Amino acid sequence: MGDAPVVIRRWASGRPRGVPHVEIACDESGFAGGNLVGGHAPVLAHASVRMDGETAASVMAGLRARMDGGPRGELKAGALLRRPALAHSLLAADGPLAGAARVHLVDTVYFALARLADLLAPGALVMATLGTDLPRRTSAARILHARGPAIYGPERWRRFLTTASDLMRTNSRWTAPEPVAPFAAALDDLLATPGEVADVLRPMRAQLPAAAAARAALKADPKLPTLLEPVVPALARAVTMWAPADGTLSVVHDDQSAVTPERIATIAAGTGLVEVTIVDSRTDPRVQVADLLAGIARRVATDHLAAVTLAEAGTAQPDETLTALLRPLIDPGSTWADSGSWAALSPASR
């Protein structure tokens, strides 16, 4: 490891003197490139830690020492999860992350449904900020998430999710050139089955012209934040959680294509964010610590989200000790809808 992190790019608006300043390091686990409904990564975790480089380097060195050097290359969460005592020590109440870390959890399917509800809600959309804000997580999205699969069955529901995803994606070569019609057909198929979910979906049908206009605006200006990109709104949430009320904030973030200067500027408006530095995570121990936290959180949250399936299959249940240690670090405003898993993950459950 070099003496200083390798900086890939930096955005800065200028840091005023004489005010309190906080610096955090961030990384994510579970990035799926906008394919939120494919099932490959049902959970995304975005972690932020407030820790200086010397302390972070000491944490990483200590973990490697207890692993007899650890694996070659960058130390990842999977290596710690295979040695539960190490993961427990990292998250312990008297450990290095106590009071110095937060992790925002995203149920990716719920994120997509909530964003769809935002896109197809009556009223004008502010396209410049929609992709940097967390979805509003309306009751409509919660009903769709909770009841849609059971009512329509896996095949019809998967078709709906896929066409809804295609409707909102403008940066994928796999998306149909004109995805509004396939989505409308999938929507009409679901509307043929009356009930509570159909009642939620029906008003969306009238908003399809607005969705088409939104797609056109996004394609016309690729610098606008994409709708199915949870990393950018998760970063915005980290800024909200960490920025001092009377001071400024800087962020060191792992290299992430979605974190562009234009999107950072949108996040910074009205907040204390004054600088974002994108680094090679392999050279910055602070980002490596954030990466470990994000990876552990994603595994724990994924296990809880699938707990019923795991129980039916007779396989191992979530690590309750690890869950209890992680719980105080979880953002209570995480993008989550499943009440059963959230009862185990929520910091309010302590």
Show me where the domains of the chain are located: 7-108+227-349, 109-220
For residues 225 and 126, what is the distance between their CA atoms, to the nearest angstrom? 11
Residue with tokens 């973990």: 63
With beta carbons less than 8 A apart as the criterion, state whether 249 and 272 touch: yes
Q: Is 194 exposed, middle or buried (0-12, 13-18, 19+ CB in 10 A)?
A: exposed
User: pLDDT means per 10 residues in the chain (350 residues)?
Assistant: 82 90 97 82 96 96 86 88 95 96 97 92 62 83 95 96 90 72 96 95 91 82 82 96 95 93 91 96 96 97 81 66 97 95 88
How do strand 248-254 and strand 21-29 relate by DSSP bridges?
Answer: parallel
With beta carbons less than 8 A apart as the criterion, state whether 161 and 112 touch: yes
For residues 339 and 336, what is the distance between their CA atoms, to the nearest angstrom? 8
For residues 121 and 111, what is the distance between their CA atoms, to the nearest angstrom? 15
Q: What is the DSSP string of 218-257?
A: HHH-TTSPPTT--HHHHHHHHHHHHS-TTSEEEEEEE--T
Which CATH number does 7-108+227-349 carry? Answer: 3.30.420
Residue with tokens 């407030």: 50
pLDDT of residue 216: 82
| Per-position b or e across 1-11, b if 16+ CB within 10 A of its CB | eeeebeeeeeb
With beta carbons less than 8 A apart as the criterion, state whether 327 and 313 touch: no
pLDDT of residue 133: 86
pLDDT tens track for 94-135: 999 999 999 999 999 999 999 999 888 876 555 556 678 888
Q: Which residues pair with 24 in a beta bridge?
A: 251
Three-state DSSP class for 21?
strand
Closest CA to 265 of 7, 6, 14, 5: 14
DSSP single-letter state for residue 335: B
With beta carbons less than 8 A apart as the criterion, state whether 166 and 176 touch: yes
The token duo for 142 is: 């919660």
